[in-house]
Structure 1
């Protein structure tokens, strides 16, 4: 029994660490890995440890990130990378544009939320409350 539990714990932790940590720059979701690779363009970063501590501009993320999030600010307006909204991705998969989307287990009900395109690793369509729903993972 102990071996079974240890095996489960090891596999669970491997899965958890395979996911990249999500972060925000402006109103766009990326990963800390993506933002850290752009250190020259970065102005500053700040980590908020709970949804209650989020500043007004990040309050819309409070339900998706109840344990807080890291915010990055960039010089000269930010990164020149491709961005997508959840509406656009839903449309590509023939799902109603305003459906909920899950990104690394975080639920987003605002389909206008933007993400950097390159953080998308894997997309699956699953049933959630009787609706087709996208589950996006930042790892393959």
Structure 2
């Protein structure tokens, strides 16, 4: 009975790890991914202008590559001159920190980032941990994509 319960809990937790957090609203500035919460909490003085898109279908051509994170819409920020020095890291570099191949998917609030060249603002990399993902010990998950 314990084995059955343990198996169920393991399956349930793996499913929860991959679920998208529907409250996360992503933002992009200079082709680098962040969250709206991150910008409003930490970088509101660096924002020059804002464009909000309500769905992936509305995204202009230059943002189509981010359609996979536009479930709740997507905000494009233009940063003021001289304000582009926010820490950023490539998905491949995150994988290198964990000793994984550079093309290993990274999960941020359940959204799967598969392009190893995608840049992510360092502010959203909170609570990093390696997880079993698609049957392999090779996924990296970030929860609560905001740093306070």
TM-score higher than 0.5 here?
yes
Q: Is the 8 A contact 2:26 2:34 kept in 1?
A: yes
**In the TM superposition, what is the alpha-carbon distance from 1:31 to its structure 2 partner?**
2.1
- In the alignment, structure 2 segments of 5+ residues that lack a partner are 1-20
1:5 alignment partner in structure 2:
none
Equivalent of 1:71, from 62, 69, 76?
Answer: 76
- In the alignment, structure 1 segments of 5+ residues that lack a partner are 1-15
Task: Give structure 1 regions of 4+ aligned residues with deviation exceeding 4 angstroms.
Answer: none
Q: Is the 8 A contact 1:65 1:106 kept in 2?
A: no
2:35 alignment partner in structure 1:
31
Normalization by structure 1: what TM-score? 0.77
Q: CA RMSD in A?
A: 2.2
CA separation in 1, counterparts of 2:114 and 2:69? 9
Q: Is the 8 A contact 2:37 2:146 kept in 1?
A: no
Normalization by structure 2: what TM-score? 0.73
2:16 alignment partner in structure 1:
none
CA separation in 1, counterparts of 2:134 and 2:53? 31
CA separation in 1, counterparts of 2:26 and 2:68? 14
CA separation in 1, counterparts of 2:36 and 2:130? 25
**In the TM superposition, what is the alpha-carbon distance from 1:127 to its structure 2 partner?**
1.6
**In the TM superposition, what is the alpha-carbon distance from 1:77 to its structure 2 partner?**
5.9
How many residues were matched structurally? 124
CA separation in 2, counterparts of 1:20 and 1:63? 13
Which structure's relative contact order is higher, taking Cα pairs within 8 Å and 6+ residues apart? Answer: 2
